[in-house]
Amino acid sequence: MINKKLIEIYNLSQKDFPKYQNQKSVIWEDVLNGKNFEDENNLINFRKNRKLSEGVDDAINLQNTIDIIEKLELFDPEFLKKNLPIKNVGNSNMTKNLIGFYFDYGIIHHLKWFEDISKIIPKNLKVICEIGGGYGSLSRVILNNFESKYIMIDLPEMNLLSAFYLKEHFPNKNFYLYDDYLKDPSLENIDNFDIFILPPWCVFNKNLKIDFFINARSMMEMNMEIVKKYFDLIHRHVSDEGFFLNINRYEKIVNNKKICIHEYPYDNNWDVIISKQSFLQEHIHFLLTQRKSKNFKNNIKDEIKKIKFIHDNTNALYTKGSFLLKIIDKSKQKIYIIIKKILLLFFKKNLKKIAKILYGMSN
Protein backbone atom coordinates (compact mmCIF):
# COMPACT_ATOMS: atom_id res chain seq x y z
CA MET A 1 0.00 0.00 0.00
CA ILE A 2 2.82 2.37 0.89
CA ASN A 3 4.62 1.62 -2.37
CA LYS A 4 1.49 2.33 -4.41
CA LYS A 5 1.14 5.64 -2.58
CA LEU A 6 4.72 6.54 -3.48
CA ILE A 7 4.02 5.72 -7.12
CA GLU A 8 0.90 7.93 -7.00
CA ILE A 9 3.03 10.81 -5.68
CA TYR A 10 5.58 10.13 -8.41
CA ASN A 11 2.79 10.41 -11.00
CA LEU A 12 1.70 13.73 -9.46
CA SER A 13 5.18 15.18 -9.95
CA GLN A 14 5.42 13.71 -13.45
CA LYS A 15 2.14 15.41 -14.30
CA ASP A 16 3.67 18.78 -13.38
CA PHE A 17 7.08 18.05 -14.89
CA PRO A 18 6.31 19.22 -18.48
CA LYS A 19 6.21 22.79 -17.16
CA TYR A 20 9.83 22.39 -16.02
CA GLN A 21 11.39 20.27 -18.77
CA ASN A 22 14.67 22.20 -18.64
CA GLN A 23 15.38 20.63 -15.24
CA LYS A 24 16.33 17.30 -16.86
CA SER A 25 19.65 17.21 -18.69
CA VAL A 26 20.25 15.34 -21.94
CA ILE A 27 22.25 12.78 -19.96
CA TRP A 28 19.28 11.97 -17.74
CA GLU A 29 16.86 11.92 -20.65
CA ASP A 30 18.93 9.05 -22.05
CA VAL A 31 19.43 7.22 -18.74
CA LEU A 32 15.76 7.29 -17.72
CA ASN A 33 14.28 6.69 -21.15
CA GLY A 34 12.27 3.47 -21.39
CA LYS A 35 12.36 2.59 -17.67
CA ASN A 36 9.05 1.74 -15.99
CA PHE A 37 8.91 3.53 -12.64
CA GLU A 38 5.20 2.83 -12.21
CA ASP A 39 5.67 -0.91 -11.71
CA GLU A 40 5.72 -1.80 -8.00
CA ASN A 41 7.89 -4.87 -8.59
CA ASN A 42 10.45 -2.68 -10.36
CA LEU A 43 10.44 -0.33 -7.37
CA ILE A 44 11.01 -3.15 -4.88
CA ASN A 45 13.90 -4.46 -7.02
CA PHE A 46 15.14 -1.09 -8.28
CA ARG A 47 18.83 -1.93 -7.69
CA LYS A 48 18.73 -5.45 -9.13
CA ASN A 49 20.81 -5.21 -12.30
CA ARG A 50 20.36 -1.44 -11.77
CA LYS A 51 16.83 -1.88 -13.10
CA LEU A 52 15.88 1.68 -12.11
CA SER A 53 19.07 2.90 -10.40
CA GLU A 54 21.31 3.21 -13.46
CA GLY A 55 23.28 6.42 -13.29
CA VAL A 56 23.16 6.69 -9.49
CA ASP A 57 24.33 3.23 -8.45
CA ASP A 58 28.06 2.46 -8.36
CA ALA A 59 27.74 -1.04 -6.94
CA ILE A 60 28.66 -2.59 -10.28
CA ASN A 61 31.98 -0.76 -10.60
CA LEU A 62 33.97 -3.13 -8.41
CA GLN A 63 32.84 -6.72 -8.64
CA ASN A 64 35.54 -8.60 -6.75
CA THR A 65 34.80 -9.21 -3.07
CA ILE A 66 38.48 -9.18 -2.11
CA ASP A 67 38.90 -5.70 -3.61
CA ILE A 68 35.96 -4.40 -1.59
CA ILE A 69 37.22 -6.05 1.60
CA GLU A 70 40.52 -4.23 1.16
CA LYS A 71 38.64 -0.94 0.97
CA LEU A 72 36.65 -1.76 4.12
CA GLU A 73 39.97 -2.23 5.90
CA LEU A 74 40.40 1.56 5.64
CA PHE A 75 37.61 2.09 8.18
CA ASP A 76 37.32 1.48 11.90
CA PRO A 77 35.14 -1.62 12.61
CA GLU A 78 32.89 0.36 14.97
CA PHE A 79 32.35 2.94 12.25
CA LEU A 80 31.37 0.15 9.84
CA LYS A 81 29.00 -1.44 12.34
CA LYS A 82 27.17 1.85 12.79
CA ASN A 83 27.06 2.93 9.15
CA LEU A 84 26.82 -0.10 6.89
CA PRO A 85 23.18 -0.89 6.06
CA ILE A 86 21.59 -4.01 7.53
CA LYS A 87 19.07 -4.23 4.67
CA ASN A 88 19.67 -4.71 0.96
CA VAL A 89 16.91 -2.29 -0.01
CA GLY A 90 16.33 -2.46 -3.76
CA ASN A 91 17.77 -6.00 -3.88
CA SER A 92 21.10 -5.15 -5.50
CA ASN A 93 22.73 -8.30 -6.85
CA MET A 94 26.13 -6.58 -6.66
CA THR A 95 25.90 -5.88 -2.92
CA LYS A 96 27.86 -8.17 -0.61
CA ASN A 97 26.70 -9.53 2.75
CA LEU A 98 29.24 -9.52 5.59
CA ILE A 99 27.85 -10.98 8.85
CA GLY A 100 24.55 -9.22 8.28
CA PHE A 101 25.93 -5.93 6.92
CA TYR A 102 25.62 -4.99 3.25
CA PHE A 103 28.29 -3.17 1.29
CA ASP A 104 29.35 -2.43 -2.27
CA TYR A 105 31.61 -0.10 -4.20
CA GLY A 106 29.13 2.80 -4.03
CA ILE A 107 28.61 2.76 -0.27
CA ILE A 108 32.40 2.76 0.25
CA HIS A 109 32.55 6.20 -1.40
CA HIS A 110 29.73 7.50 0.77
CA LEU A 111 31.33 6.17 3.95
CA LYS A 112 34.60 7.88 3.07
CA TRP A 113 32.90 11.18 2.26
CA PHE A 114 31.01 11.07 5.53
CA GLU A 115 34.12 10.14 7.49
CA ASP A 116 35.87 13.23 6.06
CA ILE A 117 33.05 15.68 6.80
CA SER A 118 32.12 14.21 10.20
CA LYS A 119 35.42 15.48 11.58
CA ILE A 120 34.32 19.04 10.76
CA ILE A 121 30.54 19.32 10.43
CA PRO A 122 28.79 19.72 13.83
CA LYS A 123 26.06 17.15 14.47
CA ASN A 124 23.60 19.70 15.85
CA LEU A 125 22.79 21.22 12.45
CA LYS A 126 19.09 22.00 12.10
CA VAL A 127 18.63 21.63 8.32
CA ILE A 128 20.64 19.81 5.62
CA CYS A 129 19.81 19.97 1.91
CA GLU A 130 21.17 17.53 -0.65
CA ILE A 131 20.78 18.44 -4.31
CA GLY A 132 20.76 15.41 -6.61
CA GLY A 133 20.97 12.73 -3.93
CA GLY A 134 20.03 9.81 -6.19
CA TYR A 135 18.36 6.93 -4.37
CA GLY A 136 19.52 8.17 -0.95
CA SER A 137 22.65 6.19 -0.09
CA LEU A 138 24.71 9.13 1.22
CA SER A 139 21.69 10.67 2.95
CA ARG A 140 21.10 7.38 4.77
CA VAL A 141 24.60 7.54 6.27
CA ILE A 142 24.15 11.18 7.33
CA LEU A 143 20.66 10.59 8.76
CA ASN A 144 22.05 7.62 10.66
CA ASN A 145 24.36 10.00 12.54
CA PHE A 146 22.62 13.39 12.59
CA GLU A 147 19.21 14.41 13.95
CA SER A 148 18.91 17.19 11.36
CA LYS A 149 15.96 17.87 9.10
CA TYR A 150 16.96 16.55 5.68
CA ILE A 151 15.78 18.04 2.37
CA MET A 152 16.42 16.18 -0.89
CA ILE A 153 15.95 17.84 -4.29
CA ASP A 154 16.01 15.64 -7.37
CA LEU A 155 14.10 14.53 -10.46
CA PRO A 156 10.75 12.75 -9.89
CA GLU A 157 12.21 9.34 -10.74
CA MET A 158 15.00 9.63 -8.19
CA ASN A 159 12.58 11.02 -5.60
CA LEU A 160 10.49 7.87 -5.94
CA LEU A 161 13.56 5.69 -5.34
CA SER A 162 14.88 7.73 -2.41
CA ALA A 163 11.46 7.87 -0.74
CA PHE A 164 11.18 4.08 -0.97
CA TYR A 165 14.81 3.51 0.10
CA LEU A 166 14.76 5.88 3.07
CA LYS A 167 11.33 4.80 4.29
CA GLU A 168 12.66 1.23 4.43
CA HIS A 169 15.65 2.36 6.49
CA PHE A 170 13.85 4.94 8.65
CA PRO A 171 10.26 3.71 9.15
CA ASN A 172 9.75 5.99 12.16
CA LYS A 173 10.73 9.20 10.39
CA ASN A 174 8.05 11.61 9.13
CA PHE A 175 8.26 12.25 5.38
CA TYR A 176 7.18 15.37 3.51
CA LEU A 177 6.69 14.48 -0.16
CA TYR A 178 5.34 16.24 -3.23
CA ASP A 179 1.69 15.65 -2.29
CA ASP A 180 2.37 17.44 1.01
CA TYR A 181 4.00 20.29 -0.87
CA LEU A 182 0.93 20.72 -3.08
CA LYS A 183 -1.19 21.07 0.07
CA ASP A 184 1.22 23.32 1.94
CA PRO A 185 4.13 24.67 -0.13
CA SER A 186 5.41 27.12 2.48
CA LEU A 187 7.59 24.65 4.44
CA GLU A 188 6.75 26.75 7.49
CA ASN A 189 5.82 23.55 9.31
CA ILE A 190 9.30 22.13 8.88
CA ASP A 191 9.43 21.01 12.52
CA ASN A 192 6.57 18.55 11.90
CA PHE A 193 8.63 16.45 9.46
CA ASP A 194 12.07 14.85 9.31
CA ILE A 195 12.80 14.11 5.65
CA PHE A 196 11.65 16.27 2.73
CA ILE A 197 11.88 14.85 -0.81
CA LEU A 198 10.95 17.32 -3.54
CA PRO A 199 11.41 18.00 -7.28
CA PRO A 200 13.61 20.92 -8.42
CA TRP A 201 10.80 23.39 -9.12
CA CYS A 202 9.61 23.54 -5.50
CA VAL A 203 10.25 26.90 -3.83
CA PHE A 204 11.45 27.29 -0.24
CA ASN A 205 10.10 29.82 2.22
CA LYS A 206 12.36 32.87 1.85
CA ASN A 207 13.20 32.77 5.57
CA LEU A 208 14.37 29.15 5.52
CA LYS A 209 18.04 28.84 6.39
CA ILE A 210 20.01 25.70 5.60
CA ASP A 211 23.14 24.77 7.53
CA PHE A 212 24.66 22.32 5.10
CA PHE A 213 24.21 21.96 1.33
CA ILE A 214 25.49 18.90 -0.52
CA ASN A 215 25.93 18.14 -4.19
CA ALA A 216 27.77 14.93 -5.01
CA ARG A 217 28.39 14.09 -8.67
CA SER A 218 25.24 15.63 -10.16
CA MET A 219 26.04 19.26 -10.95
CA MET A 220 28.61 17.93 -13.39
CA GLU A 221 25.68 16.53 -15.41
CA MET A 222 23.72 19.81 -15.52
CA ASN A 223 24.10 22.67 -17.94
CA MET A 224 25.57 25.85 -16.46
CA GLU A 225 22.21 27.61 -16.44
CA ILE A 226 20.82 25.02 -14.03
CA VAL A 227 24.05 25.00 -12.00
CA LYS A 228 23.69 28.77 -11.58
CA LYS A 229 20.09 28.39 -10.39
CA TYR A 230 21.21 25.97 -7.71
CA PHE A 231 24.04 28.28 -6.66
CA ASP A 232 21.50 31.10 -6.39
CA LEU A 233 19.44 28.82 -4.15
CA ILE A 234 22.49 28.01 -2.03
CA HIS A 235 23.62 31.62 -1.71
CA ARG A 236 20.09 32.70 -0.83
CA HIS A 237 19.36 30.09 1.83
CA VAL A 238 22.69 29.08 3.37
CA SER A 239 22.96 30.05 7.03
CA ASP A 240 25.76 32.14 8.51
CA GLU A 241 28.73 29.80 8.98
CA GLY A 242 26.84 27.17 6.93
CA PHE A 243 28.65 24.57 4.82
CA PHE A 244 28.59 23.43 1.18
CA LEU A 245 30.03 20.09 0.05
CA ASN A 246 30.69 19.98 -3.69
CA ILE A 247 31.97 16.69 -5.18
CA ASN A 248 32.08 16.88 -8.96
CA ARG A 249 34.22 16.25 -12.02
CA TYR A 250 36.93 18.62 -13.09
CA GLU A 251 35.26 18.51 -16.50
CA LYS A 252 32.38 16.72 -18.19
CA ILE A 253 30.78 17.26 -21.58
CA VAL A 254 27.03 17.98 -21.33
CA ASN A 255 25.11 18.63 -24.53
CA ASN A 256 28.42 19.30 -26.34
CA LYS A 257 29.49 21.87 -23.74
CA LYS A 258 32.20 21.62 -21.11
CA ILE A 259 30.97 21.76 -17.52
CA CYS A 260 33.97 22.48 -15.27
CA ILE A 261 33.96 22.64 -11.48
CA HIS A 262 36.36 25.59 -11.48
CA GLU A 263 33.73 27.59 -13.40
CA TYR A 264 30.95 27.06 -10.86
CA PRO A 265 29.56 30.48 -9.81
CA TYR A 266 30.77 30.74 -6.21
CA ASP A 267 30.51 34.23 -4.74
CA ASN A 268 33.38 35.59 -2.60
CA ASN A 269 31.98 34.59 0.78
CA TRP A 270 33.24 31.03 1.09
CA ASP A 271 36.18 29.77 3.08
CA VAL A 272 37.78 26.53 1.90
CA ILE A 273 37.86 23.80 4.56
CA ILE A 274 38.81 20.73 2.46
CA SER A 275 39.97 20.72 -1.14
CA LYS A 276 41.40 17.53 -2.66
CA GLN A 277 40.97 14.89 -5.31
CA SER A 278 38.10 12.60 -4.42
CA PHE A 279 38.60 9.18 -2.83
CA LEU A 280 39.31 6.53 -5.53
CA GLN A 281 38.27 9.00 -8.27
CA GLU A 282 41.08 11.29 -9.34
CA HIS A 283 38.96 12.91 -12.05
CA ILE A 284 36.59 14.26 -9.37
CA HIS A 285 37.26 17.03 -6.82
CA PHE A 286 36.12 17.01 -3.17
CA LEU A 287 35.47 20.59 -2.03
CA LEU A 288 34.05 21.53 1.37
CA THR A 289 33.52 25.24 2.01
CA GLN A 290 32.02 27.32 4.82
CA ARG A 291 30.02 30.53 4.54
CA LYS A 292 32.09 33.47 5.76
CA SER A 293 32.19 37.25 5.36
CA LYS A 294 35.63 37.77 6.91
CA ASN A 295 38.58 35.99 8.56
CA PHE A 296 39.22 33.73 5.58
CA LYS A 297 41.91 31.09 5.81
CA ASN A 298 41.69 30.23 2.13
CA ASN A 299 39.10 32.12 0.10
CA ILE A 300 37.29 30.15 -2.60
CA LYS A 301 38.49 32.44 -5.38
CA ASP A 302 42.11 31.56 -4.60
CA GLU A 303 41.27 27.85 -4.41
CA ILE A 304 39.46 27.88 -7.76
CA LYS A 305 42.73 28.86 -9.43
CA LYS A 306 44.39 25.79 -7.90
CA ILE A 307 41.51 23.57 -9.00
CA LYS A 308 41.77 24.93 -12.53
CA PHE A 309 45.46 24.01 -12.52
CA ILE A 310 44.57 20.41 -11.52
CA HIS A 311 41.90 20.38 -14.23
CA ASP A 312 44.32 21.54 -16.89
CA ASN A 313 46.71 18.74 -15.95
CA THR A 314 44.11 15.95 -15.86
CA ASN A 315 41.90 17.10 -18.71
CA ALA A 316 43.53 14.89 -21.36
CA LEU A 317 42.77 11.76 -19.32
CA TYR A 318 39.21 12.42 -18.22
CA THR A 319 37.48 14.51 -20.85
CA LYS A 320 34.54 12.57 -22.30
CA GLY A 321 35.59 10.82 -25.47
CA SER A 322 39.27 10.82 -24.55
CA PHE A 323 41.11 8.27 -26.70
CA LEU A 324 43.33 7.29 -23.78
CA LEU A 325 40.34 6.81 -21.48
CA LYS A 326 38.71 4.51 -24.00
CA ILE A 327 41.88 2.43 -24.18
CA ILE A 328 41.97 2.20 -20.38
CA ASP A 329 38.31 1.15 -20.19
CA LYS A 330 38.76 -1.55 -22.83
CA SER A 331 41.91 -2.79 -21.14
CA LYS A 332 40.08 -3.07 -17.83
CA GLN A 333 37.39 -5.18 -19.42
CA LYS A 334 39.87 -7.51 -21.12
CA ILE A 335 42.16 -8.10 -18.14
CA TYR A 336 39.47 -8.23 -15.42
CA ILE A 337 39.24 -12.04 -15.48
CA ILE A 338 43.03 -12.36 -15.41
CA ILE A 339 43.31 -10.01 -12.44
CA LYS A 340 40.57 -11.89 -10.61
CA LYS A 341 42.45 -15.18 -11.03
CA ILE A 342 45.65 -13.60 -9.78
CA LEU A 343 43.83 -12.18 -6.75
CA LEU A 344 42.41 -15.58 -5.93
CA LEU A 345 45.95 -16.98 -5.82
CA PHE A 346 46.57 -14.62 -2.92
CA PHE A 347 43.26 -15.41 -1.24
CA LYS A 348 44.96 -16.98 1.80
CA LYS A 349 46.82 -13.76 2.45
CA ASN A 350 43.59 -11.76 2.19
CA LEU A 351 41.84 -14.13 4.60
CA LYS A 352 43.82 -12.47 7.38
CA LYS A 353 42.44 -9.07 6.37
CA ILE A 354 38.90 -10.43 6.18
CA ALA A 355 39.28 -12.12 9.57
CA LYS A 356 40.54 -8.88 11.11
CA ILE A 357 37.51 -6.93 9.88
CA LEU A 358 35.07 -9.67 10.90
CA TYR A 359 36.59 -9.85 14.38
CA GLY A 360 36.39 -6.09 14.84
CA MET A 361 32.77 -5.88 13.66
CA SER A 362 31.55 -8.90 15.61
CA ASN A 363 32.83 -7.68 18.99
Q: Which residue in 233, 240, 173, 241 sits closest to 205, CA to CA?
A: 233
Average pLDDT (93-106) is 90
pLDDT grade for 243, boundaries at 50, 70 and 90: very high
Average pLDDT (25-51) is 87
pLDDT grade for 1, boundaries at 50, 70 and 90: low
- Helices 65-72 and 323-345 pack at an angle, to 10 degrees, of 90
Establish if 126 belongs to a structural domain.
Answer: yes
Q: Please report the pLDDT score of residue 67 as a whole number.
A: 72
- Helices 347-362 and 323-345 pack at an angle, to 10 degrees, of 80
d(CA 230, CA 211): 15
Q: What is the dihedral of CA 246, 169, 23, 113, to 10 degrees?
A: 10
Average pLDDT (33-46) is 94
- Of 123-132, 148-157, 257-266, 346-355, the least confident: 346-355
d(CA 103, CA 94): 9
Q: Please report the pLDDT score of residue 68 as a whole number.
A: 76
Establish if 7 belongs to a structural domain.
Answer: yes
Establish if 344 belongs to a structural domain.
Answer: no
Instruction: Please indicate whether residue 330 or residue 248 has the higher confidence score (pLDDT).
Output: 248
Computed over every residue of the chain, the mean pLDDT equals 87
Using a pLDDT cut of 90, give the percent of the chain over it.
66
Each residue of 267-290: pLDDT tens digit?
Answer: 999 999 999 999 988 899 999 999
Establish if 290 belongs to a structural domain.
Answer: yes
- Of 12-21, 86-95, 157-166, 330-339, the least confident: 330-339
Q: Please report the pLDDT score of residue 42 as a whole number.
A: 97
Establish if 75 belongs to a structural domain.
Answer: no
Q: Please report the pLDDT score of residue 336 as a whole number.
A: 45
Q: Please report the pLDDT score of residue 255 as a whole number.
A: 83
Task: Give the HSE-up count for residue 276: Cα atoms under 13 Å, Cβ half-sphere.
Answer: 8
Q: Please report the pLDDT score of residue 209 as a whole number.
A: 96
Average pLDDT (17-33) is 72
d(CA 70, CA 107): 14
Number of domains into which the chain is organized:
1
Each residue of 289-344: pLDDT tens digit?
Answer: 999 988 889 999 999 999 999 888 876 554 444 545 545 555 554 554 455 455 44
Establish if 12 belongs to a structural domain.
Answer: yes
Establish if 90 belongs to a structural domain.
Answer: no
pLDDT grade for 224, boundaries at 50, 70 and 90: very high
Q: Please report the pLDDT score of residue 2 as a whole number.
A: 79
DSSP 317-340: HHSTT-HHHHHHHHHHHHHHHHHH
Contacts of residue 180, Cβ cutoff 8 Å, sequence gap at least 6: 193
pLDDT grade for 356, boundaries at 50, 70 and 90: low
Average pLDDT (68-93) is 92
The answer to whether 131 touches 160, Cβ cutoff 8 Å, is: no
Establish if 180 belongs to a structural domain.
Answer: yes
Tell me the H-state helices in 195-260. 224-237
Residue 119: burial class (beta carbons within 10 Å; 0-12, 13-18, 19+): exposed
The answer to whether 270 touches 244, Cβ cutoff 8 Å, is: yes
Q: Which residue in 80, 88, 97 sits closest to 44, CA to CA?
A: 88
Instruction: Please indicate whether residue 332 or residue 16 has the higher confidence score (pLDDT).
Output: 16
Using a pLDDT cut of 70, give the percent of the chain over it.
82
CATH of the domain at 219: 3.40.50.150
236: containing domain = 2-61+103-318
